[in-house]
Amino acid sequence: MNALDSFSLAGKTVLLTGGSRGLGRAMAQALGEAGAAVAVTARTTAAAQTAADELTGLGIRAFGQKLEVSDVDDVELAVRTVSDEFGPIDVLVNNAGIGVGGAAFDTPDSVWHDVLATNVNGVWYCSRAVARRMAERGGGTIVNIGSMSAAIVNQPRWQISYLTSKAAVHHLTRGLAAEWAPHGIRVNAIAPGYFLTEMSPVDQPEYQPYCVDPAPMKRYGLPHELGPAAIFLAGDASSFMTGSIVTIDGGFTLL
């Protein structure tokens, strides 16, 4: 295999959670362009199917599946459905996540529980359900979407539950990587910085001094810029990597 061939995902089936918009939608397209068949999930059937139809229109084999990642029973059902109808899952990308702003004193317990249920429990439930099947087949790859927020405190929008959840995702990545390596399962994570999405409107002037100016590259990222990293971690190009956190933040965390 030459170097470029190691980036091909031809013949691979990917399950990507939270794939209907933003970073998830961009990564789903990139993985499909690399040759993978991509199953995308969203909280509603309509959103998942719309994303799958868009990918199909681009010549990508795609499948849409409703999934609430914080519901362990729904996770098991979705993984079983995708595996049965779309093929055994070779790559899992845990992208589904939410962020709710608010000062710590003002954050309701319900927000704390909802964010951790989606961002941490969801990664755990999906990883466990898929990895059990991967282990039976001799291996696979998991890519978790963490955040540079696991290592910094975002301003001006306080969001203690989000920071905590992403720090947990990073260490969950390391722990599972160590435990599942003997099963042939690699687990890595991407830690994005400030990317322009509906969830993160960093193009607005009030965010410039906090989210753009401090970064050495003096700009925010665009969703398509995350896709190549997902391809790298999903396939053979990263065959000797596990437990790594790949930070993509325009240099924000350097200073």
Nearest to 121 by CA among 112, 109, 134, 108: 112
pLDDT of residue 254: 97
Is the backbone peptide bond immediately before 156 cis, with ω within 30 degrees of 0? Answer: yes
Q: What pLDDT is recorded for position 1?
A: 76
pLDDT on residue 199: 87
Given a contact cutoff of 8 angstroms between Cβ atoms, the answer to whether 191 and 215 are in contact is no
DSSP for 216-235? Answer: TT-S-B-GGGGHHHHHHHHS
188: tokens are: 């890595």
At residue 99, the pLDDT reads 95
Q: Is 69 strand, coil or helix?
A: coil
Residue 10 within a domain: yes
Asked if residue 105 belongs to a domain, the reply is yes
Is residue 207 part of the annotated active site? The answer reads no
Domain that holds residue 64: 5-248
Residue 24 in this model has a pLDDT that exceeds 80: yes
Mean pLDDT, rounded, for 167-185: 98
**Rounded alpha-carbon distances, angstroms, from residue 42 to 14, 66, 67, 95, 146:** 15, 5, 6, 10, 18
Instruction: Give the pLDDT band of residue 200 (cuts 50, 70, 90).
Output: very high
Question: What's 57's domain CATH number?
Answer: 3.40.50.720
For residues 12, 76, 233, 63, the Cα torsion angle rounded to the nearest 10 degrees is 50
Q: What's the pTM?
A: 0.98
Rounded distance between C-alpha atoms, residue 192 and residue 182, angstroms:
28
Q: Please say if the pLDDT value at position 147 is more than 90.
A: yes
Catalytic site residue from 125, 162, 207, 220: 162
Give the mean pLDDT of 209-235.
Answer: 98
- Residue 253 belongs to a domain: no
72 in a structural domain: yes
Averaged pLDDT, 166-177: 98
Report if residue 255 sits inside a domain.
no
| 166 inside domain | yes
> pLDDT band at residue 122, thresholds of 50, 70 and 90?
very high
Is residue 143 in some structural domain? yes
State the total domains in the chain. 1
Question: How sure is the predictor about 169, in pLDDT bands with cuts at 50, 70 and 90?
Answer: very high
